[in-house]
Amino acid sequence: MQHSETETESQTGIEAGTGSVTVLGLGPMGRALASAFLDAGLRTTVWNRTPGRDRELVARGARGAASAAEAVTASELTVVCVVNYGAVEGILRDGPVADALKGRTVVNLSSGAPEGARGTADWAAAHGIRFLDGAIMTPTTTIGTPAGVFLYAGPEDLYREHRPVLDALNGTHTHLGEEIGRAAAYDIALLDIFWTASAGFAHALAVARAEGITGRELTPYAQGIAAILPPIFEGWAANLDDGDFSGEDNPLTSAVSSMAHIAETSEAHGIDASLMRAVEAGARRTVELGHGTDGFHRIAEVLGRD
Ligand code: NDP
């Protein structure tokens, strides 16, 4: 089987005061993670490159470590959540930190490219450090609530061993498979949707404002567009997997025309339309390849060609 999924249970399985965890990185997300661990009653040790970010957590009972090496020594499990894999490695590769981590487990919850996860995992293996990679798919406000979404990849036994502590974060936890780059790969694909959709919305706001429509006036209709997407995504994804490219109700030739109207209207207002022009160019290329009667999802197949 490609992947196994395990949904979170309602209880953490940890009795207050019995478990422990270290959190490295106290940006908004690291602080949210540490806060949820504290709320769940875990002995929580924290460290951040720039001192002072632990003040509120320490006031609530966290132990503020003076160094990353001291922090990782305090717990069997260290969760690291910083800006990217470069920062993760910058912290972990420090001699005393790597030495202290030998035989312990690191769960990375920083975002980054799958290659970053693979490189960090190789380094960890070479240093006798047990390593799981992960990604958080929801904002800081969801951490510690049922709405949090956490993805993991790496050795399943390691995941199962540390699941009781991870459950303290509440939310849904899913192990996607043993290939260590898999959580980061999901993260990248999902963030691709988030940022291109957000860029589309920012652009739509600019065009609407140029036409005298306020953000508040547009938003209910924008939410309507967002609401029609889930079944469309489901259909396209299944059709792509099955090699079915039929575009009966909305052929690419019609989509291209709609895209051109958007770009022309933007440009008439002096608003950069390069994002829509790029989408339009991709769609036109796909039509030129003979797929004009296919659906929009044919673009995914064409983009993936060598
Ligand atoms: P950032 O992505 O801005 O990360 C800030 C943290 O990274 C701080 O602890 C900062 O330390 C540390 N850092 C940056 N560069 C280095 C470095 N070279 N060496 C050591 N530490 C470094 O903020 P977030 O906390 O919000 O995000 C952390 C991770 O969580 C990111 O990968 C992000 O994509 C992910 N995430 C965040 C979400 C959110 O809503 N915020 C949602 C989902 C995922 P310092 O204080 O010293 O600068």
Residue range(s) occupied by CATH 3.40.50.720 in the chain: 8-178
Tens of pLDDT, residue by residue over 134-149, are: 999 999 999 999 999 9
When the candidates are 1.10.3720.10, 1.10.1040.10, 4.10.110.10, 1.20.1050.10, the CATH number that belongs to 211-303 is 1.10.1040.10
Residue 110 Cβ inside 6 Å of ligand 1? The answer reads: yes
- Whether the per-residue pLDDT at 11 is higher than 70: the answer is no
Tens of pLDDT, residue by residue over 51-96, are: 999 999 999 999 999 999 999 999 999 999 999 999 999 999 989 9
First to last CA, the chain: 28
Residue range(s) occupied by CATH 1.10.1040.10 in the chain: 211-303
Tens of pLDDT, residue by residue over 255-279, are: 999 999 999 999 999 999 999 999 9
Tens of pLDDT, residue by residue over 200-259, are: 999 999 999 999 999 999 999 999 999 999 999 999 999 999 999 998 888 999 999 999
Contact 111, 137 (CB under 8 A): no
| Protein residue closest via CA to atom 18 of ligand 1 | 87
pTM for this entry: 0.92
**How sure is the predictor about 15, in pLDDT bands with cuts at 50, 70 and 90?**
low
Q: What is the mean pLDDT of residues 112-141?
A: 97
Which residue of 22, 83, 142 sits with most ligand 1 atoms within 8 Å of its CB, as the best mutation to test the pocket?
Answer: 83
Contact 73, 97 (CB under 8 A): no
Count of alpha carbons within 13 angstroms of residue 9, beta-carbon side: 8
Distance (angstroms) between ligand 1 centre and the Cα of 292 equals 44
What's the pLDDT score for residue 14?
Answer: 53
Tens of pLDDT, residue by residue over 184-205, are: 999 999 999 999 999 999 999 9
What CATH number does the domain located at 8-178 have?
3.40.50.720
